[in-house]
């Protein structure tokens, strides 16, 4: 479970986060919505202990990444918006590398590799080197390496960017399976269709502040819009109008 | 805090192994290491070979002089011929003709006997004799032999005249100069070999360059660095793993380069040009062990620098400037012709160069020279590592990845 309360972060004169608060429960997929520059990436980087926060509290299964970043990271599976792979390593070598970085031994890595290969259906690329992989194959490798150490919490930054329909469906199936297992999944995204189909909760942030955290239908009801996208635009638009 | 404790070594080793594995699969990186392993030894061998060949050829080649007006100096011609120098005779030639003749390089020099030589000679007045040479093409050794014959000719005439006037030879020759040269071959070799070895150690900075760039700026360019930093790995392990991988590759490159250089120097006939290579294999290995810290320093310095670049290209530009720095002491110090001093063992690259040079000269070295050479590089490596780790932790760096 991930809880963020009254999170503040500024870079010089820019307030990237200005009192954001949200909560992502176990066994649920929580979508983090917001326009570009809303503070999503900054919030995620504070969650994995890469950036220090100015004020507020962060709690990942009772651990504060501000004071014990390594312990927090062990409980996180991370998929960043850029899928950086090592072109000269095979999928299996990628997984072994990240398993070792998480302190797993060889046998545990082999077992976990078999599991994620089953879950994501990637037996065909497990011993191929990454150069020449399609976007979908790259994403599978990135997701597999995020899942290898069986994290309780998953942080995904725009996971379906650049994916074709088949890969998107495969990813969706995998996320649903992980939710069944009780994973806490926090997903920053711009794709409303994804939110519609997957999300149990929606967090809308803009200008570093949380505008709303609720189930998708609550968001629609609150804004009076039928469509989630309209609801989002209405929420953001009005708020930004006030701020301006 | 017990949850936070993460052993440094396993993740450092994992990163080290991954970087080496990637580099060993990178044909371009391996070619570059291979190129620098053979480049300097082969350049050295080629230039020494050229020198040896020239020397040997000069010995074998005929030494010829042209004499204009030979009829006036029959004794001189005989003395020149006695010295094994071939004499060609000619009647007259103007200055342009002389220059053209010498430019053909068939003659070492031209001796012209001016008109009036015989009269002045007979009158016991200093008789002029002209020696023409083309200093841009002539071989110094050949010319020295011609000059020696001319000097000997003049001395002989002087002695004969004094004797004829009843003057004892000792009056005209108050001293008899005897020259001795105590320089051993090895110590004479010094200056030349110094220039050669300095360049050997400069290659250190090239051996680790590709890995240092690829594992930092390259990782940023591929957008994989953020994810690596989001793993439960302390920054010291990230920097440490990449650093040791680069330093290891560098050590292997330097070892191969020095061994190749040693093998070439051992089989070349250096005695032909008055040089000798007397560094034994165990002594060379001692130098290598002392030079490993230089590899550690080169890798650390390059990583601390290129990690700030966002792309491979940008990093290459940045590192190009740093590659000039190790060249400075190596190029400048031999030019200044300084005597070996202890401070030289405190300048990375120059220290390693001086060490090998002194061994090549056959000097015994104090242990402090080895300790200083290794110690300064180790200290510099530690500083560069500290800078790199601090940088990795800084907020500005994280924002830029």
Q: What is the pLDDT along chain B (401 residues), one digit of tens a residue?
A: 445 666 789 999 999 999 999 999 999 999 999 999 999 899 889 988 888 887 777 666 778 899 998 888 888 999 898 888 889 988 888 888 998 888 888 888 999 998 888 888 888 888 888 999 888 776 777 888 888 888 888 888 888 888 888 887 777 777 766 766 565 555 556 666 666 777 888 889 999 999 999 999 999 998 899 999 999 999 999 999 999 999 999 999 999 999 999 999 889 888 777 777 878 889 889 889 989 999 999 999 999 999 999 999 999 998 888 788 788 877 777 677 777 788 889 988 888 888 888 887 778 888 999 999 999 999 999 999 999 999 999 988 988 87
With contacts defined as CB-CB under 8 Å, which chain B residues touch A78?
A: 227, 230
CB-nearest to A73 from B22, B232, B399 is B232
Q: B223 and A80: CB-CB below 8 Å? A: yes
The tokens 């053909």 sit on which residue? Answer: B104
CB-CB contact of A63 with A71 (8 Å): yes
Structure tokens at A111: 């077992």
pLDDT band at A182 (very low <50, low <70, confident <90, very high): very high
Sheet holding A201-206, edge to edge: A76-79, A153-157, A184-188, A28-33, A201-206, A209-214
Minimum CA–CA partner of B394 in chain A: A51
Q: B222 and A86: CB-CB below 8 Å? A: yes
pLDDT (0 to 100) of residue A224: 78
The tokens 């994810």 sit on which residue? Answer: B227
| Interface test mutation site (partner B, options A88, A148, A186, max chain B beta carbons within 10 A) | A88
CB-CB contact of A194 with A171 (8 Å): no
DSSP lists the bridge partners of residue A184 as A28, A153
With contacts defined as CB-CB under 8 Å, which chain A residues touch B242?
A: none
- Give alpha helix (H) positions in chain A: 40-47, 69-74, 91-101, 106-120, 135-147, 165-180, 192-198, 216-223, 228-243
pLDDT (0 to 100) of residue A65: 94
CB-CB contact of B175 with B210 (8 Å): no
With contacts defined as CB-CB under 8 Å, which chain A residues touch B234?
A: 70
Residue A219 CA to residue A215 CA, distance in Å, equals 7
Q: B227 and A84: CB-CB below 8 Å? A: yes
Q: B231 and A98: CB-CB below 8 Å? A: yes
CB pairs under 8 A between A and B: 86
Q: CA dist A88 to A129, B18, B76, Å?
A: 6, 10, 79
Q: CA dist B242 to A50, A154, B300, Å?
A: 20, 28, 9
Q: CA dist B77 to A194, B71, B300, Å?
A: 106, 9, 69
Residues of B with CB under 8 A from a CB of A: 1, 3-4, 6-7, 10-11, 14-15, 18, 21-22, 25-26, 219, 222-234, 395, 398-399
With contacts defined as CB-CB under 8 Å, which chain B residues touch A93?
A: 18, 21
Residue B209 CA to residue B22 CA, distance in Å, equals 14
pLDDT (0 to 100) of residue B138: 64
| Interface test mutation site (partner B, options A48, A65, A70, A151, max chain B beta carbons within 10 A) | A70
pLDDT (0 to 100) of residue B105: 83
pLDDT digits (tens, 9 = 90+) for A9-28: 999 888 999 999 999 999 99
With contacts defined as CB-CB under 8 Å, which chain A residues touch B224?
A: 82, 84-86
pLDDT (0 to 100) of residue B189: 61
The neighbour count for residue B264, using CB atoms within 10 Å, is: 17
Q: A85 and B399: CB-CB below 8 Å? A: no
Minimum CA–CA partner of A156 in chain B: B227
Closest CA–CA distance from residue B11 to any residue of chain A (Å):
5
Q: A51 and B399: CB-CB below 8 Å? A: yes
With contacts defined as CB-CB under 8 Å, which chain A residues touch B395?
A: 51-52
CB-nearest to B6 from A70, A83, A89 is A70
With contacts defined as CB-CB under 8 Å, which chain A residues touch B399?
A: 11, 51
Closest CA–CA distance from residue B330 to any residue of chain A (Å):
37
Minimum CA–CA partner of B3 in chain A: A71
CB-CB contact of A47 with A58 (8 Å): yes
Q: Answer with the residue of higher pLDDT: B63 or A59.
A: A59
Structure tokens at B244: 């040791």
pLDDT (0 to 100) of residue B166: 83
CB-nearest to A102 from B7, B21, B231 is B231
Q: B14 and A51: CB-CB below 8 Å? A: no
Q: B222 and A85: CB-CB below 8 Å? A: yes
Q: B22 and A88: CB-CB below 8 Å? A: yes
Average pLDDT value for residue range A85-103: 96
Q: What is the DSSP string of B202-245?
A: HTHHHHTHHHHHHHTHHHHHTT-HHHHHTSS--HHHHHHHHHHH
| Interface test mutation site (partner A, options B11, B232, B233, B396, max chain A beta carbons within 10 A) | B232
pLDDT (0 to 100) of residue B323: 84
pLDDT digits (tens, 9 = 90+) for A203-217: 999 989 998 899 988
- Give alpha helix (H) positions in B25-139: 27-60, 74-82, 95-103, 117-122
Q: B223 and A82: CB-CB below 8 Å? A: yes
Q: Answer with the residue of higher pLDDT: A225 or A18.
A: A18
Minimum CA–CA partner of B215 in chain A: A86
Q: B232 and A71: CB-CB below 8 Å? A: yes
Is the per-residue pLDDT at A239 higher than 60?
Answer: no
ipTM comes to 0.91
Minimum CA–CA partner of B392 in chain A: A50
Model confidence pTM above 0.90:
no
pLDDT (0 to 100) of residue B169: 73
Residues 6+ apart with CB under 8 A from A64: A57, A58, A72
For B354, half-sphere exposure in the C-beta direction (CA atoms, 13 angstrom radius) is 25
pLDDT (0 to 100) of residue A244: 37
With contacts defined as CB-CB under 8 Å, which chain B residues touch A88?
A: 21-22, 25-26
Closest CA–CA distance from residue B311 to any residue of chain A (Å):
14
Q: A84 and B222: CB-CB below 8 Å? A: yes
Closest CA–CA distance from residue A171 to any residue of chain B (Å):
19
């Amino acid at each position: 479970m991930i809880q963020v309360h009254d999170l503040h972060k500024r870079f010089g004169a820019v307030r990237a986060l200005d009192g954001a608060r949200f909560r992502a429960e176990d066994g649920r997929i929580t979508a983090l919505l917001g326009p570009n520059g809303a503070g999503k990436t900054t919030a995620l980087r504070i969650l994995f202990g890469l950036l220090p926060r100015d004020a507020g509290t962060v709690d990942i299964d009772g651990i504060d990444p501000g004071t014990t970043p390594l312990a927090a990271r062990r409980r996180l599976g991370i998929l960043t918006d850029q899928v950086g792979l090592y072109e000269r390593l095979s999928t299996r070598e990628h997984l072994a590398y990240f398993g070792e970085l998480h302190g797993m031994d060889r046998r545990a890595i082999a077992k976990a590799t078999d599991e994620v290969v089953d879950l994501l259906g990637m037996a065909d690329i497990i011993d191929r080197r990454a150069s020449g992989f399609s976007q979908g194959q790259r994403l599978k490798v990135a997701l597999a390496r995020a899942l290898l150490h069986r994290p309780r919490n998953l942080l995904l930054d725009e996971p379906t960017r650049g994916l074709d329909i088949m890969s998107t469906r495969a990813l969706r199936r995998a996320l649903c399976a992980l939710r069944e297992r009780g994973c806490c999944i926090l997903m920053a995204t711009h794709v409303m269709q994804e939110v519609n189909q997957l999300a149990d909760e929606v967090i809308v942030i803009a200008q570093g502040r949380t505008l709303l955290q609720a189930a998708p239908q609550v968001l629609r009801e609150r804004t009076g819009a039928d469509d989630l996208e309209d609801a989002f635009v209405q929420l953001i638009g009005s708020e930004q109008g006030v701020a301006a | 805090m017990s949850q936070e404790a993460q052993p440094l070594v396993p993740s450092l080793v994992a990163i080290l192994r991954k970087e080496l594995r990637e580099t060993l699969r990178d044909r371009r990186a391996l070619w570059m290491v291979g190129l620098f392993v053979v480049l300097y030894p082969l350049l050295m061998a080629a230039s020494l070979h050229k020198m040896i060949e020239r020397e040997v050829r000069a010995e074998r080649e005929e030494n010829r002089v042209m004499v204009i007006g030979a009829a006036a100096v029959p004794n001189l011609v005989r003395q020149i011929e006695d010295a094994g120098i071939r004499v060609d005779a000619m009647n007259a030639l103007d200055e342009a003709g002389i220059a053209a003749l010498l430019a053909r390089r068939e003659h070492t020099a031209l001796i012209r006997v001016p008109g009036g030589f015989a009269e002045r000679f007979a009158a016991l007045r200093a008789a002029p004799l002209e020696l023409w040479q083309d200093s841009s093409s002539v071989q110094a050794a050949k010319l020295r032999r011609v000059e020696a014959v001319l000097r000997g000719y003049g001395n002989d005439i002087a002695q004969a005249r004094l004797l004829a006037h009843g003057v004892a030879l000792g009056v005209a020759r108050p001293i008899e100069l005897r020259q001795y040269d105590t320089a051993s071959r090895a110590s004479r070799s010094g200056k030349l070999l110094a220039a050669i070895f300095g360049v050997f150690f400069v290659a250190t900075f090239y051996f680790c360059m590709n890995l240092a760039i690829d594992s930092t700026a390259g990782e940023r360019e591929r957008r994989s660095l953020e994810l690596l930093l989001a793993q439960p790995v302390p920054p010291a392990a990230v920097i440490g793993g990449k650093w040791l991988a680069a330093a290891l590759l560098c050590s292997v490159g330097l070892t191969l380069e020095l061994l190749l250089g040693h093998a070439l120097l051992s089989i070349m006939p250096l005695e032909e040009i008055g040089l000798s290579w007397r560094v034994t294999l165990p002594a060379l290995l001692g130098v290598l062990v002392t030079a490993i810290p230089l590899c550690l320093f080169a890798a650390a310095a390059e990583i601390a620098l290129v990690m700030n670049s966002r792309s491979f290209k940008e990093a290459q530009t940045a590192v190009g400037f740093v590659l000039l720095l190790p060249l400075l002491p190596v190029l400048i110090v031999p030019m200044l012709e300084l005597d070996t001093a202890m401070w030289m063992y405190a300048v990375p690259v120059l220290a390693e160069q001086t060490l090998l040079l002194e061994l090549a000269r056959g000097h015994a070295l104090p242990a402090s020279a080895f300790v200083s050479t290794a110690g300064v590089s180790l200290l510099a490596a530690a500083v560069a590592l500290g800078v790199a780790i601090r940088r990795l932790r800084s907020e500005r760096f994280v924002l830029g990845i």
